[in-house]
Structure 1
Amino acid sequence: MRPTYKSGEELLKEIQMTDMPFGSVAVWHLGQSGVIIKGGNQDGYIVIDPYLTFSIEERSPNTEFKRGFEPPLTPEQLTDASGILITHSHDDHLDLETIIPIAQHSSHTYFALPVPDVHVLEKKNISSKQIIGAKAKEKFRIKGFEITPISAAHTNYERDDNGNDRYLGFIIEVNGVTVFNCGDSVVTDELISDIKSYRPHIAILPINGQDYFRTSRWIVGNMNYRDAVDFGVTIGADMILPVHYDMFANNRENPAYFVDYIFHQYPNQKFHMMVPGERFIYYK
């Protein structure tokens, strides 16, 4: 199991001490799709899709989904988070073994997730006052963060009987910077239309793709490296941060393909490849 770039108390102290001036944000990569976003101290910080345990393989020892590196933080180290955003209910995004300890140790942290999955947290006795049922295009606020959920297609749009999306991305506006976290999705005309008007400064996009053999094993796919780059350019993102390529050996993509494609097709497009535990500083 490979080491992380930075972890534990050292990483936690860095998060707590980081205070960004207006027009900038800090992003930390937690592995898979997990990220932390922070502006100024007054804004607090949010965490998106944290998978910080070994729960998948502990629950199913024969699974092909086995972590390739240690979690950079424990759930208990995130109890000062202002909010946890969950894009959908797959175990590497909605990890109850990560969520429950945070809720048990923090009465001020909000948990936002698609409306069809709210009952999952309610059944674990998480206070309804801390749960935000997220609906596409219905804005909500967590401390200094204005957040707009966006419908996502993983690999299709799926909705409950009331028309509520089961998969979401999030437009996140904080400290003068706009970030789009796609969650798990493929590219669609609707997604392009929804995001293009925002012209996000940062687009956080999955690049692990999909193929026949993974689909035949019920592994739900995403945009691939080429889709992610073309989509990021089309929506006018200043910076593309790829994710969902590093944790599980059975469901990832070589990020060198992403870099090579940008180099040949869009040599002026900004991007950054993050490693787990790394802080990336963005100034618009």
Structure 2
Amino acid sequence: MNSAQPPSKPRIVEDILTTRLPQDTIALWWLGQAGFVLRDTRAVIYLDPFLSDRPDRLVPPPFAAEIAPPADLVLCTHEHLDHFDLPTLRALAQTSPHARFVVPLPIVEQVTTPGISAERVVGVQPDEELDLGGITLFPVPAMHGLKTPPAVYDFGFVQHGNGRDNSGPYRYLGYVIEMAGVRVYHAGDTVVYDGLVEHLRRLNVDIALLPINGRSYFREQLNIVGNLDEREAADLAAAAGVRLLVPIHYDMFAANQGRPATLVDYVRAHHPSISCYIPAHGRRFTYMKGDLR
């Protein structure tokens, strides 16, 4: 009598688990939308993992959160469901018992209330430099919004009465992550604001993961807060001295897509010194410090 064989793991899971890397190289896997796995020889990081199999997804999850490769860090940029997927976070907390969860300080309780231990959750703010087990993290403000219409793009400061306090804590973040000597900027959801270019230039970013879905009045009427468009992403990367631009946040929902081909054409015409990489879902790409110089 033959016993049933367990189902094989998706190729991406095996790839994340088994890929061998040189000391000065990182690997990235796109999970769709703003989700990524980053890896070097020592650590695995999840960025905005969105693995719930919702019916409105255009792209299926690359794997179920319950069989996700173990994580060392899980980073979320803000609380929109495609960046802050609680079922995924709860599953990762179970499958990665040593993982820490990094989120903007104002939403820490949204992680701990569903049952993730407070000792595992790190609330962060801009202008902090954190050493997290050999990974250096630099939180960066993001300008976004939670509710429309009318659209209000800000930093998510606490509202008092009919106005907003012009000080923190910041509710929306991006992150610059340094691992294996490579600095990766994950923008989360953002538009360009005064000071962003200078902030990124100071951090000497190698790779920028930037949204390109743009924004429009009509989508804002559907409660869809927008982001950079293709040209803005390219212009930001060029102004910030980024070496490699990777577009994200354009593939998941029918009403909120972007055009990576437009980005490539614009970069070629206006910023030929920048390299552009269009990621494929679940396919590994690697980067070594000093590439593209």
Aligned partner letter, 1:69: V
CA distance in 1, matches of 2:69, 2:129: 24
CA offset digits 1:183-239 (Å, max 9, x no partner) = 110011221121111221101100000011001111111010000000001111110
Tell me which residue corresponds to 2:95.
105
Given that residues 68 and 95 in structure 2 are in contact (C-alpha distance below 8 angstroms), is that contact kept between their aligned partners in structure 1?
A: no
Aligned partner letter, 1:51: F
Aligned partner letter, 2:252: M
CA offset digits 1:111-153 (Å, max 9, x no partner) = 1101111111111111111101111121223323111111110
Tell me which residue corresponds to 2:256.
251
Given that residues 35 and 47 in structure 1 are in contact (C-alpha distance below 8 angstroms), is that contact kept between their aligned partners in structure 2?
A: yes
CA distance in 2, matches of 1:18, 1:252: 31
Tell me which residue corresponds to 2:64.
74
Tell me which residue corresponds to 2:154.
156
Q: Does 1:214 align with 2:219?
A: yes
CA distance in 1, matches of 2:25, 2:95: 30
- Deviation of residue 169 (structure 1)? 0.4
Q: Does 1:264 align with 2:269?
A: yes
Greater radius of gyration (CA)? 2
1:226 to 224, 231, 242: 231
Which runs of structure 2 are paired with 1:25-64 in the superposition (5 Å)? 25-40=26-41, 42=42, 44-55=43-54, 57=55
CA distance in 2, matches of 1:144, 1:74: 28
3-state DSSP of counterpart to 2:245: strand
Aligned partner letter, 1:31: G
CA distance in 2, matches of 1:190, 1:78: 37
Given that residues 72 and 96 in structure 2 are in contact (C-alpha distance below 8 angstroms), is that contact kept between their aligned partners in structure 1?
A: no
Given that residues 50 and 95 in structure 1 are in contact (C-alpha distance below 8 angstroms), is that contact kept between their aligned partners in structure 2?
A: yes
- Go from structure 1 to structure 2 and tell me whether the alpha carbon gap of 1:118 and 1:22 turns closer, same or farther (over 3 Å shift): same
Which runs of structure 2 are paired with 1:172-211 in the superposition (5 Å)? 172-211=177-216
3-state DSSP of counterpart to 2:174: strand
Tell me which residue corresponds to 1:10.
11
- Deviation of residue 103 (structure 1)? 1.0
Tell me which residue corresponds to 2:134.
144
Larger helix percent: 1
Tell me which residue corresponds to 1:277.
282
CA distance in 1, matches of 2:259, 2:69: 33
CA distance in 2, matches of 1:201, 1:164: 27
Aligned partner letter, 1:10: R
Given that residues 26 and 281 in structure 1 are in contact (C-alpha distance below 8 angstroms), is that contact kept between their aligned partners in structure 2?
A: yes
3-state DSSP of counterpart to 1:19: coil
Q: Does 1:135 align with 2:140?
A: no
Tell me which residue corresponds to 1:168.
173
Instruction: Point out 4+ residue stretches in structure 1 off by more than 6 angstroms.
Output: none
CA distance in 2, matches of 1:97, 1:262: 37
Q: TM-score, normalised by structure 2?
A: 0.87
% identical aligned pairs: 36
Given that residues 207 and 243 in structure 2 are in contact (C-alpha distance below 8 angstroms), is that contact kept between their aligned partners in structure 1?
A: yes
Q: TM-score, normalised by structure 1?
A: 0.90
Given that residues 22 and 176 in structure 1 are in contact (C-alpha distance below 8 angstroms), is that contact kept between their aligned partners in structure 2?
A: no
Aligned partner letter, 1:117: I
- Aligned-CA RMSD value: 1.6
Q: Does 1:117 align with 2:107?
A: yes
Unaligned segments of structure 1, at least 5 residues: 1-6, 58-65
Given that residues 82 and 142 in structure 1 are in contact (C-alpha distance below 8 angstroms), is that contact kept between their aligned partners in structure 2?
A: no
Unaligned segments of structure 2, at least 5 residues: 1-7, 145-152, 160-166
- Deviation of residue 8 (structure 1)? 4.4
CA distance in 2, matches of 1:70, 1:95: 15
Given that residues 177 and 184 in structure 2 are in contact (C-alpha distance below 8 angstroms), is that contact kept between their aligned partners in structure 1?
A: yes
Given that residues 8 and 72 in structure 1 are in contact (C-alpha distance below 8 angstroms), is that contact kept between their aligned partners in structure 2?
A: no
- Deviation of residue 12 (structure 1)? 1.1
Structure with the larger RCO, 1 or 2 (CA within 8 Å, 6+ apart) = 1
- Deviation of residue 19 (structure 1)? 3.0
CA distance in 1, matches of 2:156, 2:52: 27
Aligned partner letter, 2:83: H
Aligned partner letter, 1:120: Q
3-state DSSP of counterpart to 1:263: helix
CA distance in 2, matches of 1:78, 1:28: 13
